[in-house]
Amino acid sequence: MRILINGWFWGQSTTGSGQYLHRLVEHLARQQSGATFTLLTPQGGERGLGIGDRDAQSPIPNPQSPIPNLPRPLAKLYWEQIAVPAAARRLGADLLFVPYWAAPLWQPVPTVVTVHDLIPLLLPLYRGGTLNRLYTRLVSLTAQRAAAVITVSHAGARDVTTHLRIAPARVFPIHHGPNVATQPRPDSHELAAIRAKYALPKRYFLYLGGFDVRKNVEGILAAYRRYLEKGGDPVVKLVLAGKLPGVDTPFFPDPLRMAAALGISEHLHCAGWVDEADKPLLYAGAVAYLFPSHYEGFGMMLLEAMAAGCPVITSQSPSAS
Identify the structural domains of the chain with CATH numbers, from first to last: 2-173 (3.40.50.2000), 188-314 (3.40.50.2000)
State residue 44's pLDDT score: 64
Number of DSSP helices (H) and strands (E) in the chain, helices first:
11, 12
Instruction: Report the mean per-residue pLDDT for the chain.
Output: 90
Query: Which of 51-55, 169-173, 190-194, 288-292 bottoms out in mean pLDDT, i.e. has the lowest?
Result: 51-55
Each residue's pLDDT tens digit, 190-247: 999 999 999 999 999 999 999 999 999 999 999 999 999 999 999 999 999 999 999 9
Contact yes or no for 97/137 (Cβ under 8 A)? no
The H or E element that residue 270 is part of is strand 268-272
Residues linked to residue 4 through DSSP beta bridges, in sequence order: 38, 96
State residue 300's pLDDT score: 83
**Is pLDDT of 48 > 80?**
no
Q: What is the pTM of this model?
A: 0.84
Work out the percent of the chain whose per-residue pLDDT is above 90.
Answer: 73
Question: How buried is 189 (Cβ within 10 angstroms: 0-12 exposed, 13-18 middle, 19+ buried)?
Answer: exposed
